Structure 1
Amino acid sequence: MTLAFGAPPDVAGGRPPRRGATLRTVVIVDVLALAALAGWLYLALAHGAFWRTGPGLPEQDDPLEWPEVAAVVPARNEAAVLPETLPTLLAQEYPGAFRVVVVDDQSGDGTAETAGRLTGHVVSARDRPDGWAGKVWAMSEGVRAAGEPDYYLFTDADIAYAPGTVRRLVAEAVAGRRDLVSQMATLSVRTGWERVIVPAFVYFFAQLYPFRRVTRDGSRTAAAAGGCMLVRRAALEGAGGVAAIRGALIDDVAMGRLVKRAGGRCRLDLSRDVVSRRPYPRLADLWTMIVRSAYHQLRYSPALLAGTVLGLLLLYAVPPAATLAAAVAGPAPVALTAAALAWTIMTLTFVPMLRFYRLSPLRAVALPAIALMYAAMTVDSARRHRAGRGGAWKGRTTAAPSP
């Protein structure tokens, strides 16, 4: 049998195809391809240039007086990575008062002892109250121990800082009158699975929260990157303090929303000066990292879950599927043109992120397959939350709230 939208009679069966069904199939494929193209035209041209990876922090003049900064480092079972990262924070040549507070979040691997050998200021987190996410409680404990600096630098235990980074962050906060300056760390792409998953992870994050919209005053888009968040203390306290986001699994996005909704001015950029030293050698490690918070981000809503999966299928699966089907099956110029153009736009928007991670642009063609993996991770996140194993991270789980 010849596979074609206008196929000849089925010789084996002796029956011609149903013309009405064939026309409906063509129309459906055309509509899906055009819808996917419309979606990609919007994303590429009108969605905050989410696909751009620059420009990074601008050069700013030194402030007349350098404000006091306290870095808060929540650490749970981080003894292995702290020797790589904590010295880079302690070595920052900051002209003003600067101190580092490491919060040992009930670790069982000697994190407190390791941090104590590197810096004298280690705080043991008290028992976590009900309703608090683990990391947010550790952040709160760090704030309690840090006193009243002008700025808090919330950072993760796996984050390494290039020389002068804190100085540049503060200069931008002061000169730009920013209440929050956040840098998304460069993640590890050493292993094969990291090279597949990580650039797409950052790409999808930027698609959800276009960095230029986060930075734009008056925009409702708010987010931050939890590995590096410089927050003005007065702005944080005016917004309700860390307690206002006590239950947040995605603490960085919650912090960005908290500050911006209170009228604060924010900035978010990609950065090569802030680097994560945490490895994800196996697919299972990356899978766990993503499913931990995916369903939480959808507010535990089955409707949002269904909409997200359908949206991913429309944007990422339809263009290659319709392109290949139209090319193989025969005359379908509308579907072929629209789907191929949508796939091309999709591919081109992914190239800058691959270049940022110094990977081959040819990898961009495989983005639809990676997106399907993310759809599977999102569904798995919902499944785990429904099973009472949601938010699993370092021995802790956070179940979805009861309906």
Structure 2
Amino acid sequence: MGQTARVSAIVWTAAASLAAWLWLLLFQGFFWRTDIRLPPREDPQAWPSVCVVVPARDEAAVLSASLPSLLAQDYPGRAEVFLVDDGSSDGTGALARELAEQHGGLPLTVGSPGEPPAGWTGKLWAVRHGIGLAHARDPEYLLLTDADIAHAPDSLRRLVAAARTGEFDVVSQMARLRVESPWERLVVPAFVYFFAQLYPFRRISKKNKENKKKGTRTAAAAGGCILLRADAAERARIPDAIRHAVIDDVALARAVKRAGGRVWLGLADAVDSVRPYPRLHDLWRMVSRSAYAQLRHNPLLLAGTVAGLALVYLVPSVALFAGAATGSAPAAGLGAAAWLVMAGTYVPMLRYYRQPLWLAPLLPFTAFLYLLMTVDSAVQHYRGRGAAWKGRTYTRPDAVPDEG
């Protein structure tokens, strides 16, 4: 009787997991598709002025591979670069000036904001300083891009054309992250896959008048590459309104959308991160530093997230093997079906990252790693070491002004 009850519980749990996957497949904004690239665009008759703001803290190791790509932008209008050296100890500012002298191209200004005051994250304090420097040039657009992001020569031109053609206040591209080490191959494509599952790209660009429900509330951006209209930044009070945000890219998009702006987010073809994450430890820190902030430091949300990850990602494989071990064809069949749907939705992301498709069935293991990273993020938070990054720790940040 006891074994029958256990088998029955496995069957029902596997059925719930399969139902969850069918819902995700069909009703979560087709998050698994990777064809969301820059929207149709036409070159404007007059190219608007753009100021590029690059917050940088201890980025000397990657700057040589990224900054020259910004300086070499083939942009028909007026553009210049403002790199904000956020208290670096590795000579980031001096290296930036050397690179500008060697490569030429767009004008470069290097500034330093000093230590951030209470209530500000270091990156957003640096962004504020950079926007302040750019304000004297009266730009129509701001390109906020991280110091580890390399751009193709026509990147700025394509971003501006897309923003003007689609009348978007924010055009953001999810930079293609590096996938060279074994751990990067296992973890990085899943990181973007999970992000798209949380923030389906198709919903983000919907106009308010098209959908008064969920689609209009979905807002996100990718911090590595955000083209932002300067007047939209003023209306949304960027970055002051999100000064304490650890997940600043999502916070920015939500602030702009709340102020009536339009946001577009998609995958990049020619915007790449050059930052290496060779070890699991490096990737673990990248995820865990902000995972609990994403959950608003709420223990109930943490418990729900852990339970949801277990149901959606871990139950299929457990049900398959448990069903095979106990001779329960329904449990094995339901588990196999859920696992198949899961792996199938992951295949497009693996193709985008040019990775072997045999990694798709390993997604439950990767999801288990993310589950542990999320729990570790909460543990570090309650130990007073939450959101630690490059020598700074933000113990009680508000991830986003409105998480609802």
Of 213-222 and 150-159, more deviation after overlay is shown by 213-222
Could you say what secondary structure the match of 2:61 adopts?
coil
Check if 1:222 corresponds to 2:243.
no
Where do residues 374-389 of structure 1 align in structure 2 (5 Å cutoff)?
A: 374-389=370-385
Corresponding residue for residue 113 of structure 2:
125
Residue 269 of structure 1 corresponds to which residue in structure 2? 266
* Matches for 1:271-350 after TM superposition, within 5 Å: 271-330=268-327, 332-350=328-346
1:4-403 map, 5 Å: 19=1, 21-119=2-100, 120-147=108-135, 148-218=138-208, 219=215, 220-330=217-327, 332-400=328-396
SS in structure 1 of the partner of residue 218 of structure 2: coil
Displacement of 1:401: 5.9
Gaps of 5+ in 2: 101-107, 209-214, 399-404
The aligned amino acid for 1:362 is W
Whole-Å separation in 1 of the counterparts to 2:268 and 2:180: 18
- Cα deviation for residue 386 of structure 1 reads 0.6
Helix, strand or coil at the partner of 1:290? helix
Letter in 2 for 1:192: P
Deviation at 1:392, TM superposition (A): 1.1
- In the TM superposition, structure 1's runs of 4+ consecutive aligned residues that sit over 4 Å from their partners are none
Cα drift, residue 216 of structure 1:
1.9
Residue in structure 1 matched with residue 212 of structure 2 by the alignment: none
Rounded to whole Å, the distance in 2 between the matches of 1:362 and 1:215 is: 33
8 Å Cα contact 2:66/2:274 also seen in 1: yes
Whether the 8 Å CA contact 2:37–2:269 is kept in 1: the answer is no
Structure-2 separation of matches of 1:80 and 1:270: 25
Distance (whole Å) between structure 2 residues aligned to residue 121 and residue 323 of structure 1: 59
Contact 2:128 2:240 in 1 (8 A): yes
Q: What residue ranges of structure 1 are gaps of 5+ in the alignment?
A: 1-18
- Pairwise CA distance, 1:91: 0.6
Which is higher, the Rg of structure 1 or of structure 2? Answer: 1
Report what 1:10 is aligned to. Answer: none
* Aligned equivalents of 1:379, 1:24: Cα separation in 2: 31
SS in 2 for 1:80: helix
TM-score of the pair, normalised by structure 1:
0.93
8 Å Cα contact 1:51-1:353 kept in structure 2: yes
Identity %, equivalent residues: 55
Task: After superposition, give the CA deviation of every residue in 1:168-227 in whole Å (9 maximum; x if it has no partner).
Answer: 100010010000000000111111111111011111111111111112223211100000
Output the CA distance in 1 between the equivalents of 2:115 and 2:368: 40
Deviation, 1:236, is 1.3
Report if the CA contact (8 A) 1:386-1:400 is conserved. no
What is the one-letter code of the residue matched to 1:186? R
RMSD between aligned alpha carbons?
1.2
Equivalent residues of 2:245, 2:397 under 8 A apart = no
Q: Deviation digits for residues 277-333 of structure 1, max 9, x if unmatched?
A: 000111111111111100011000000110000000000110110011112211x33
CA distance in 1, matches of 2:334, 2:272: 39
State whether residues 36 and 201 of structure 2, in contact with CA within 8 Å, keep that contact through their aligned partners in structure 1.
no
